[in-house]
Amino acid sequence: MTNLSTLRISTRSVLMWTTVAVVSASAWGVLALSRGERISAIWLLAAALGSYAIAYRFYARFIARRVLQVDDRRATPAERLDNGIDYHPTDRRVLFGHHFAAIAGAGPLVGPVLAAQMGYLPGTLWIVVGVIFAGAVQDMITLFFSMRRDGRSLGQMAREEIGPIGGAAALIAVFAIMIILLAVLALVVVNALARSPWGTFSIAMTIPIALFMGYYLRMLRPGKVIETTLIGVGLLLLAIIAGGWVEGSSWAGAFTLRPQTLVICVIIYGFAASVLPVWMLLAPRDYLSTFMKIGTIVLLAISVAVAAPVLQNQAFSEFAFSGDGPVFAGGLFPFVFIVIACGALSGFHSLIASGTTPKMIQKESQVRMIGYGAMLMESFVAIMALIAASIIDPGLYYAMNAPAGLLGTTVESASAAVNNLGFTITPDALAGAAAAVGEDTLIARTGGAPTLAIGMSEIFAGVFGGAALKAFWYHFAIMFEALFILTTVDAGTRVGRFMLQDTLGNVYRPLGQLSWKPGLWATSTAVVGAWGYFLYTGVTNPLGGINQLFPLFGIANQLLAAVALTVCTTLLIKSGRARWGWVTIVPLTWVVAVTLTASWQKIFSSDPELGFFAQAARFSTALEQGRWIAPANNRDDMVAVVTNSTVCGVLSLLFAVLISVVIVDAARVWVRALRSSVRLPSTEAPFVESKIVAAAGLIATDEERRALAGAGPVANGASHEHR
Amino acid sequence: MSIAELFRGLRWYLREFSGESRYDHYLARHRRLHPDQPVMTPSEFERWRSKLAENQPATRCC
């Protein structure tokens, strides 16, 4: 930092960054000015990648150096507390991979698909601008402050730095969000597998495959993770191919399940996975899903670049302005910013950025690459999902994503409903699209996963194998999503169980003991029951579960982001960095405006399509008069709508109250800190001089290489720098 | 960078990322800190590690 050579900017660097800026700006220009003509997805990629590069080079560097003042002379908790278990200095490139695998999941894939209802431009703008100024900032700053506090969790930081009230509100928020998250993700899987024998068979096979891998890794070849994973992936591909045979055989009936049956299967699976030993099911599934996740994302990036598909979606659809789209209700503001959480700004990441990752960082300066960089990568995944959803025919998109109640069950009724929405798809085309991917029907396959799979199968088939392999690629994409969603569900159920055991242990001591079996079963049942309830109502809701629950999930996730940004702001102010407070206050203000507006509309809107309580009132009035309102066509449906809408409304209210409590409580601390002439007490670990030498960014600079060569292999740990 | 170096780098990354090299790190650390004590076999090490993992769930995001 103090070295003069880093202050002088070379001509080459100026030229390079000018080129990046010009290319990126031109791509944005093409996106902004093309109206009514079809443009290539390459422009989206160029605009996004160029913006990421500039943000990483300039803004992330500014935050690291000026705002956080990262100090590489200071030993990180990984170095000071190294115990070879959870605290151990890990190579930055390896940790980047771990952190990325932990933060990226189905979220960045599902949200953009649903938001494609508004056209491709609102989603693209929010994903790129949101990640640069909000999402990546939140991840990096949370990571930094947790690292300065020996890897404390977000909940602990909220309690210690804000106070017991803000801390308790944050803890309740984390738990509630977890439950909604698990329910929504499980709903995506159930919707993708319902009445699809091919998909159901392939996913069911992942359980015996994982059990086999667990046994192999424990008994036969201890520690041989790569070998075991390769065998597992081989079996997985076989399971996808075999799914096609099952579909055409007499077994098909056994694997053609109703959504309600699948819900029960997922609930039983979630419970089993959370009480069984980790090595049996959870760990091997995690290996498989990580491999599939990274492999497929790389494959998709290459395929999009090679195939350069043309976008079929409009830049802005009419639903962006009317706010009455069939996929989810509400206008562009705030709902694009709610539906796309992961990929732009995801509060959930703050749980990973405070916890596992900060205990493994070698050098403070690496928070830029790991915190900011990994989030940029997730944002890129979201852009690819948006591309996949935007290259398919809009008629097909609405036939798949509008609620079943609107579309009916036949290709004729769905075609007519899509025409009513102002798009066209013929019954033959709809039947043909389903046949091309080996499915009976694509009507109302909501949840985003099937739509993404259709888009991905088109992109992949364009590069590898053509139309003949389309059905394989479709089920490959379904497998890819379902696999890591189920991994999130079992890991999440376990995490939820720990949180519950920890909290309830304060009330009844034995419950806090992790090894006490009755406590373990009781808390697991409670967690599974809670998300299982929302999952079941989501499946049976005649108005479409995703339509109702996804906005709630988005609000919850953004609420957690607001909590994280509040904690970050508090820490910036308390640590004497108040002049840089705007770095987190700007995204905080934005996310609070978005969540509170969305909550307000969901609670108070008199439009029954939008407001939960208005909807409940409309249906209960009709119920009292003995009428049914379409799409409900019996008494049970009517009762279900009233109950669901009321529960969702109460939850929205709870979320809005929680966020207000955290912010008001934190603001009190901000004022006190700003007025105080001395620094308020904080929990930052004291300075210890670092002995480790390691590079900050992906590629070591010449200067860092010289330092590494001087340090020798011992101080350098397991690092492996190419020279 | 030669092909062989690239291959070595890739192998190193995969082993580190997947956790396959965990046992090697354990051995190196154990020999450095407790050179006089017996070491765990790979199988014992895996069992010890999975017992620890039991109470440290890895959060996976959405």
- Residue A511's pLDDT band (cuts 50, 70, 90): confident
Q: Alpha-carbon distance A610 to A660, whole Å? A: 22
Comparing CA positions, the residue from B58, B50, B54 lying closest to residue A492 is B58
Please identify among residues 611-670 of chain A the ones whose CB lies closer than 8 Å to any CB of chain B. Answer: none
Tens digit of each residue's pLDDT (9 = 90 or more) over B37-59? 999 999 999 999 888 888 777 77
Residue B42 contacts A where some CB pair is shorter than 8 Å: yes
Cross-strand bridge partners of residue A90: A361
Neighbours of A537 (CB within 10 A): 21
* Chain A hits for B1, Cβ within 8 Å: 722
- Rounded to a whole number, what is the distance in Å from the CA of A103 to chain B's nearest CA? 5
How much is the ipTM here? 0.96
How many angstroms separate the CA atoms of A505 and A519, rounded?
A: 10
What residue type is assigned to position A229 of the chain?
A: T
Query: Using the beta-carbon criterion (under 8 Å), do A222 and B42 form an inter-chain contact?
Result: yes
- Residue A466: the pLDDT is 81
3-state secondary structure at position A361: strand
Residue type (1 letter), A427: P
Q: Is residue A720 pLDDT above 80, yes or no?
A: no
A612 vs A618: CA distance, rounded Å? 10
Q: So what's the pLDDT on residue A8?
A: 67
Residue A9 confidence class, pLDDT cut points 50, 70, 90:
confident
If you average pLDDT over every residue of chain A, what do you get? 92
Residue A545 has pLDDT above 50, yes or no: yes
Query: What does the alpha-carbon distance between residue A196 and residue A647 come to, in Å, rounded to a whole number?
Result: 30
Q: Does A286 touch chain B (CB under 8 A)?
A: yes
Closest-CA distance, A519 to chain B, in angstroms, reads: 14
Q: Which two tokens stand for residue A524?
A: 């697991």
What's the rounded Cα separation, in Å, for the pair A228 and A235?
A: 11
d(CA A371, CA A258) in angstroms, rounded, equals 41
Q: How confident is the model over A276-304, as a mean pLDDT? A: 92
Q: What residues contact residue A515 under an 8 Å CB cut-off, 6+ apart?
A: none
Mean pLDDT throughout A703-708?
89
The whole model's pTM is what?
0.95
Smallest CA–CA distance from B53 into chain A, residue: A278
Amino acid at A40: S
Which of A94, A213, A501 has the highest number of chain B CBs within 10 A, making it the mutation to test binding with B? Answer: A94
Q: Supply the pLDDT for residue A310.
A: 95
Closest CA to A370 of A103, A78, A45, A715: A103
3-state SS, residue A375: helix
**What is the reported pLDDT for A712?**
57
Closest CA to B45 of B55, B33, B30, B58: B30
pLDDT at residue A547 is higher than 50: yes
A722 contacts on B by Cβ (under 8 Å): 1, 5, 9
Place of tokens 């977000």: A154
Q: What is the DSSP string of A449-467?
A: HHHHHHHHHHHHHHHTTGG
Is residue A723 predicted with pLDDT exceeding 50? no
Q: What is the pLDDT of residues B5-27, one digit of tens each?
A: 999 999 999 999 999 999 999 99
Average pLDDT on A443-457 reads: 94
CA atoms in the 13 A half-sphere facing the CB of A196: 30
User: What are phi and psi for residue A400, nearest 5 degrees?
Assistant: -90, -30
Q: Where do we find the tokens 């003949």?
A: A468
A517 and chain B in contact, CB less than 8 A: no
Percent of chain A with pLDDT over 70: 97
Q: What is the mean pLDDT of residues A263-288?
A: 93
Average pLDDT, chain B: 90
Give me A699's structure tokens. Answer: 């590629």
pLDDT at A513: 83
- List Cα–Cα distances, A337 to A135, A251, A393, A545, A663, in angstroms: 12, 44, 24, 20, 20
Write down the pLDDT at residue A1. 45
Interface contacts (A, B; CB < 8 Å): 112
Annotate B1-62 with DSSP letters as a single string: --HHHHHHHHHHHHHHHHTTTHHHHHHHHHHHH-TTSPPPPHHHHHHHHHHHHHTSPPP---
- Whether the pLDDT of residue A54 is over 60: the answer is yes
pLDDT of residue A6: 53
- A-chain CB neighbours of B27 within 8 Å are none
